[in-house]
């Protein structure tokens, strides 16, 4: 089996999940690490016994023949610039969500990937969760009938992130682009990836002193007729469900993800995990499956899913939501 050499760009919280997921794959070599400071690179490399190139110069990795692909987990501002650089140097790219700062940057990534023939995967990791996939099968089987409406949540209760997440220049937005995208992509996936028709949003900053949002409510109409209500937030006093929780109201029944069950005619059927109980809500297993898919796509030269199309659809919805909140009107896509 030919070794696939992967470089990691960024050593923040999410990079640990990616590294563990990659190290669990056969025939994968972590050949380099790049981050803003040498100290963080060295600590990260020591933690995972990475002996490849350790650098603060991201561009130097793009020129290396011993780098086949990169996993980019940096502040959002750098997603598009780094992706474009590596694509142009013939590397496949995994981008942590969101795909970019906005849909315009996403379009440039899409165009460049097509021109270079390289692969792009976007880290909407809930698509690899067992419970989410169970509910997708239920919905697509028609067991709940037509899904009339859904509710989804991307909320932190009594806490919120710090650092670059709260700086619009680096993040592009706040709780919506950080947490809300999980809820949006999860329900879209469960529904079979319909296209958005319109977005109406109310987005505010209520709980902190920063230039990004920490409270949001979106109403998305899909081209299959379903209406999705999405709530995003940091520092909220309460939540109706954890990150990416989804509630589905159908003409024949009701479905819930996190907790996961279906209800028909007042009869409830709870879903039981096939393996060990999760040790945390964002379980390592979903990130490992995500990396397994990325590596398989590299070997087979197959377009990953979620890829550019899925990532760009979310960016268009987010752009529309911020525009809707600014002008207090429905934005049609």
Residues whose CB is less than 8 angstroms from the CB of residue 61 and which lie 6 or more positions away in sequence, other chains included: 7, 9, 32, 34, 53, 55, 67, 70, 86
Domains, the chain, ordered by start? 4-124+299-304 (3.40.50.720), 127-283+315-332 (3.30.360.10)
Q: What is the pLDDT of residues 182-232, one digit of tens each?
A: 999 999 999 999 999 999 999 999 999 999 999 999 999 999 999 999 999
Structure tokens at 152: 């989804």
Residues whose CB is less than 8 angstroms from the CB of residue 177 and which lie 6 or more positions away in sequence, other chains included: 76, 98, 171, 318
Q: What is the pLDDT of residues 217-231, one digit of tens each?
A: 999 999 999 999 999
pLDDT, residue 1, reads 78
Q: What is the pLDDT of residues 118-144, one digit of tens each?
A: 999 999 999 999 999 999 999 999 999
- Rounded distance between C-alpha atoms, residue 299 and residue 77, angstroms: 29
pLDDT-based confidence at residue 177 (cuts at 50, 70, 90)? very high
Integer angstrom CA distances of residue 287 from 20, 25, 128, 270: 8, 12, 8, 24
Q: Produce one character per residue of 164-177: b if its CB has 16 or more CB atoms within 10 Å, e if not.
A: ebbbeebbbbbbbb
């Amino acid at each position: 089996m030919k070794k696939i050499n992967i470089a990691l760009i960024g050593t923040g919280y999410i990079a640990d999940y990616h590294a563990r997921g990659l190290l669990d794959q056969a025939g994968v070599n972590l050949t380099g690490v790049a981050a803003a400071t040498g100290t963080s690179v060295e600590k990260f490399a020591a933690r995972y016994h990475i002996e490849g190139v350790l650098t603060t110069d991201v561009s130097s990795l793009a020129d290396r023949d011993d780098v086949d692909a990169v996993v980019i987990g940096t502040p959002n501002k750098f997603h598009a610039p780094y992706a474009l650089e590596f694509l142009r140097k013939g590397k496949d790219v995994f981008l942590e969500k969101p795909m970019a700062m906005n849909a315009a940057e996403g379009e440039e990534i899409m165009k460049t990937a097509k021109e270079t023939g390289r692969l792009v995967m976007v880290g909407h990791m809930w698509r690899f969760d067992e419970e989410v996939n169970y509910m997708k099968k239920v919905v697509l089987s028609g067991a709940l009938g037509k899904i009339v409406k859904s509710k989804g949540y991307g909320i932190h209760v009594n806490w919120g992130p710090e650092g670059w997440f709260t700086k619009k220049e680096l993040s592009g937005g706040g709780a919506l682009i950080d947490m809300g995208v999980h809820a949006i992509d999860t329900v879209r996936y469960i529904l079979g990836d319909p296209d958005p028709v319109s977005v109406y949003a109310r987005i505010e900053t209520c709980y902190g002193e920063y230039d990004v949002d920490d409270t949001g409510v979106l109403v998305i109409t899909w081209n299959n007729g379903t209406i999705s209500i999405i709530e995003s937030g940091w520092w909220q006093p309460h939540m109706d469900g954890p990150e990416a929780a989804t509630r589905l109201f159908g003409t024949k029944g009701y479905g819930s993800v996190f907790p996961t069950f279906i209800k028909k005619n007042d009869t409830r059927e709870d879903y039981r995990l096939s393996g060990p109980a999760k040790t945390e809500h964002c379980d390592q297993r979903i990130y490992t499956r995500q990396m397994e898919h990325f590596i398989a796509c590299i070997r087979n030269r197959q377009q990953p899913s979620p890829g550019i199309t899925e990532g760009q659809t979310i960016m268009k919805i987010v752009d529309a939501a911020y525009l809707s909140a600014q002008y207090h009107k429905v934005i049609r896509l």
